[in-house]
Structure 1
Amino acid sequence: MTRSRAILAATSIAAAAVLLVAGCDDDPPATPSPEPTATGSSSEPSASPSPTSKGVVVAPERPKEMDDDGPAGAEAAAVYFLELDGYIMTTGDTSGYEAMSLKSCKFCANRLEQAREIAAEKLTWTGGDVAADVTHTYEQDAATGIWPIDVDATISAVSVTDPSGDEVFADPRTRTKYRVEIAKADGNWQVVGIADQPKP
């Protein structure tokens, strides 16, 4: 198996959701530190955006509701963060995603690593757009400031091609139910963790 195919074997949105969320499921709920450090503060530079066959890819627009410090802001931030996924995979521009990711978020770190590997291998990611809808918002935890939010995500089909144009990976449209833990720290929304919603 080539390195590109090996990378993409773990990059399937459906498989990645299982793989990456599994890394969070057994962890106790994380809490933001008094001075949280986002992964964006890492000395490792973000990958530069790369052109695609579709031309310029535009990041999702930051919703104005994110300026709210209450549940409306938390919900908008959770949806916005999930909807950045296809953009970072397509372009390699992870700056916005990093800025909202706490180091405690294993899901976030794994998605960032995959985006960087795709960029480094000069692969072209097409699709994977996320449409997210909040289904339930829980009460904010008074001690940590975390809002747990249940989100249903529909993820469009993905096709990945190598530099010669050969498809090295494909994945159909999928649906995933996430629980996003998010908190406001230093005036910005920070994703503490993302996992599968617990089964009833």
Structure 2
Amino acid sequence: MRMQGRAMYAVLTTGLVALVAGGCTGVPAPGPTTTSTTTTDATPPSTPTPSGSPKADVVAPPERPAEMSDPSAAGAAAAASYFFALYPYVFASGDLAEWSALSSDTCEYCQNVRKSVEDQTARGVVGSGAEVTVESAEGIEVTPGETYAADLVVTQAPSFEMTRDGERVPDGDGGRFQIHVALGWESGWVVRAIDAARA
């Protein structure tokens, strides 16, 4: 199925057609004894605006936060923020290595983004825009050393596709979103599920 746009909320309501494609299920609710939280602010780097050929722009991946090395609430917030910073990068570059390394096989959202990037590559286009700014990120420790969650508020810029002919085609309006991310620590972070709603 061809993507209809890459706004975060759209996939929750239309299936394989946007950033939160289908939304993952099974997001764990923090238990009543959860007390460890952290709030961070992060602004991922912008994706350059295409200037011609869809292969002409050099796109740098976002920098992995040092906090991601720890299985903690702060680490969960950093991992979730980094995961969403990767979103415009994977569409602009087609490079899914880091995205796949952080994605659980059971996360529908993660796998649907991967399929959308692969579809875009097969059609000979690249993504532009869709830059994500994390306004706030709160990490939650559910089971120490194993299960975590993160609640994010993010804004997403409008997205575009660059065709083989250099045409810039609107692909999504963007917006402001509240996102819940379920994560696990398995000798490193794994995103297990994502749910989102317009803020």
Report if the CA contact (8 A) 2:152-2:178 is conserved: yes
- Residue 147 (structure 2) aligns with: 146
**SS of residue in 2 equivalent to 1:59:** coil
Greater RCO structure (CA 8 Å; 6+ sep): 2
Residue 13 of structure 1: how far off its partner (Å):
4.5
**Counterparts of 1:19 and 1:132 in 2: how far apart (Å)?**
24
**Counterparts of 2:166 and 2:134 in 1: how far apart (Å)?**
30
Q: Relative to 1, partners in 2 of residues 1:171 and 1:97: Cα closer, same or farther, differing over 3 Å?
A: same
Report if the CA contact (8 A) 2:77-2:137 is conserved: no
Q: Which residue among 78, 81, 86 is the counterpart of 1:76?
A: 78
More strand by share: 2
- Residue 159 (structure 2) aligns with: 158
Aligned residue identity for 1:174 = G
**SS of residue in 2 equivalent to 1:192:** strand
**Counterparts of 1:22 and 1:88 in 2: how far apart (Å)?**
15
After superposition, what is the alpha-carbon deviation per residue over 1:146-180, rounded to whole angstroms, capped at 9, x for unaligned?
21211011111111132123344332341111100
Q: Relative to 1, partners in 2 of residues 1:67 and 1:155: Cα closer, same or farther, differing over 3 Å?
A: same
Report if the CA contact (8 A) 1:75-1:137 is conserved: yes
Aligned length: 171
Report if the CA contact (8 A) 2:81-2:137 is conserved: no
- Residue 4 (structure 2) aligns with: 9
Pairing 1:188–2:185 present = no
Q: Relative to 1, partners in 2 of residues 1:135 and 1:11: Cα closer, same or farther, differing over 3 Å?
A: closer
Q: Which residue among 26, 29, 34 is the counterpart of 1:28?
A: 26
Report if the CA contact (8 A) 2:146-2:185 is conserved: yes
Q: Relative to 1, partners in 2 of residues 1:29 and 1:158: Cα closer, same or farther, differing over 3 Å?
A: closer
**SS of residue in 2 equivalent to 1:137:** strand
Report if the CA contact (8 A) 2:120-2:126 is conserved: yes
The RMSD of aligned alpha carbons is: 2.7
Report if the CA contact (8 A) 1:154-1:173 is conserved: yes
- Residue 48 (structure 1) aligns with: none
**Counterparts of 1:72 and 1:183 in 2: how far apart (Å)?**
13
Aligned residue identity for 2:22 = G
More helix by share: 1
TM, length-normalised to structure 2: 0.74
Aligned residue identity for 1:96 = E
Q: Which runs of 5+ in 2 are unaligned?
A: 29-52
Report if the CA contact (8 A) 2:54-2:166 is conserved: no
- Residue 114 (structure 2) aligns with: 112
**Counterparts of 1:126 and 1:150 in 2: how far apart (Å)?**
26
Percent identical: 25
TM, length-normalised to structure 1: 0.74
Name the stretch that deviates more: 125-134 or 69-78. Answer: 125-134
Residue 53 of structure 1: how far off its partner (Å):
6.5
